[in-house]
Amino acid sequence: MDIQFNTYYTLIWAALVLLLGKFLVSRIRWLRDFNIPEPVAGGLIAATGCYVLYAVMGYRLSFDGELQTAFMLVFFSSIGLSANFAKLKAGGRSLFVFLLVIAVFIGLQNAVGISMASLLGLDPLIGLIAGSMTLLGGHGTAGAWGSILEYEHGVQGAMTLGMACATFGLVIGGLVGGPLAKWLIRRNQLQGPEGNSEDMVDAASPNFESPRKTRLITTDATIETLALFAGCLAFAQLMTELTAGASFQLPTFVWALGAGVLIRNALDYVFHFEVFDRAIDVFGSAALSIYLAIALLSLKLWELAGLAGPLVIILAVQAVVMVLYVALVTFRVMGRDYDAAVLSAGNCGFGMGATPTAVANMQAITNQYGPSHKAFLIVPMVGAFFIDLLNAIFLQFFIKLLA
């Protein structure tokens, strides 16, 4: 029996999941010790409950996917609206070094997926699905490219397979990022800035760094910010429709982020209009939490349980390779310091899941050890914008190579 929750009930369930996650993290020490994000803690419990209902009583709970997409687009719009050129410049050389590190990882992730698929006797394109297409690209990229593989290259069930792989990555990315960063911090005896993370945030701090900090917002600022988000979403929808069927396509959330960058910098440098960053921060952080809550609520664990054995092996190997790469390459190349450890948590988040998971991982670390301005400048822009462009290029190359 299918039970479909509409927009209002989906939002209620998402709020309950976030409250549950907050309660669990506050009461269970090992969740705090391993820096598990609150949406992940509450969401996995909720997803397990949905699985039990399905296994015992045959109920399949479905939640409003459009609401999840809307909050995802709001989050990515907030990244773009926060990215004025001054902040991009502040990222400096480290931003480009981190981008190079992730570019190498994209090639490695696809090579591992294709090699493992070939060793296990599967179509190499299935290995590509279990590579950067879904693990680094997330559900949006999985859907876009899955349809191409299914209808143009004859890979049966590519979209369903892609969604299952992306779901696996979302869970693993949220579970391993915090513990790995904490291990790096302890092993290398690293220390964050002295003082409480929430108290040390100033006007120059990047957005999303301290979601619990009180933000004072006026009614006018709220209305202005909503108008900015509406512009980003409208532009994203327009560009998605205009580029439908084109040889080179970008996911809708990339257009939303790009619109945010254009709008923000036009307001800053052309119209000299002061954008209210605190309002963008509040809307973006709230959208991030609700998006993750709905995404985890929507996990169909029975689909993961039904994955073929060889695919489970590929995904397990991908998880191990990512952890090793982050610990041995990302952390070392980025400086072996506290910022590098926080960047490593973010790398795990979007390396197997999505940029919202990366931000949640970093928030879990900085809430305990102190802020990392550098990480919150670099990861959202690299993980949400540059990576999708690079990933599209890599995927087109591998598909032409294998097809």
| Interval 176-192: pLDDT, tens | 998 999 999 999 999 87
Q: What is the SS3 assignment for 371?
A: coil
Phi and psi at 60, nearest 5°, equal -110, 110
pLDDT tops 80 at residue 248: no
Which whole number is the average pLDDT over 206-226?
74
pLDDT class for 274, splitting at 50, 70, 90? confident
* Average pLDDT in the chain: 83
- Taking the alpha carbons at both ends of the chain, their separation in whole angstroms is 40
**The pair of three-digit structure tokens given for residue 196, joined into one six-digit string:** 């409480």
Overall average pLDDT of the 150-163 stretch:
72
Tell me the HSE value of 257 on the side-chain side, using a 13 A CA sphere.
Answer: 21
Mean pLDDT of 249-268: 85
Q: Is the pLDDT of residue 196 over 60?
A: no
Q: Comparing C-alpha atoms, which of 340, 329, 398, 399 is closest to residue 365? A: 340
C-beta of residue 119 within 8 angstroms of C-beta of residue 113 = no
**Mean pLDDT along residues 229-248:** 87
pLDDT at 306 over 60: no
Provide the pLDDT confidence category of residue 216 given band limits of 50, 70 and 90: confident
Closest to 41 measured CA to CA, from 53, 57, 58, 24: 24
Locate tokens 């070939």: which residue?
118
Task: Name the residue with higher pLDDT: 88 or 182.
Answer: 182
Amino acid 97: pLDDT:
92
Q: What is the pLDDT of residue 142?
A: 73
Q: What is the pLDDT of residue 43?
A: 85
The distance of Cα 398 from the centroid of its chain, to the nearest Å, equals 23
**Residues present in the chain in total:** 403
**Mean pLDDT, residues 58-87:** 84
More confident residue, 225 or 304: 225
Between 245 and 186, the higher pLDDT residue: 186
> What CA–CA distances, in Å, run from 170 to 166, 253, 277?
6, 17, 28
Residue 247: band (very low, low, confident or very high) from pLDDT cuts 50, 70, 90 = low
Q: Could you give the CA distance from residue 100 to residue 107 in angstroms, rounded to a whole number?
A: 11
State the pLDDT at residue 304.
Answer: 57
The top-scoring range by mean pLDDT among 186-190, 200-204, 248-252, 363-367 is 186-190
What is the arithmetic mean of pLDDT over 66-95? 79
CA angle 49, 310, 354 (to 5 degrees): 55
Residue 48: CB atoms within 10 Å = 12
Averaged pLDDT, 122-132: 88
As a 3-state breakdown, the chain gives helix, strand, coil percent values, each rounded to 5, of: 75, 0, 20
Mean pLDDT value across residues 216-244: 90
CA distance 316 to 330: 20
Q: How far lies 85's CA from each of 88, 204, 376, in Å? A: 5, 13, 15
The whole-angstrom separation of Cα 212 and Cα 363 is: 10
What confidence category does residue 372 fall into, taking pLDDT thresholds of 50, 70 and 90?
confident
Dihedral over alpha carbons 333, 285, 78, 359 (to 10 degrees): 20
Average pLDDT over residues 353-359: 79
State the Cα–Cα distance between residues 154 and 79, nearest whole angstrom.
36
Mean pLDDT throughout 56-69? 88
Q: Which residues pair with 61 in a beta bridge?
A: 3
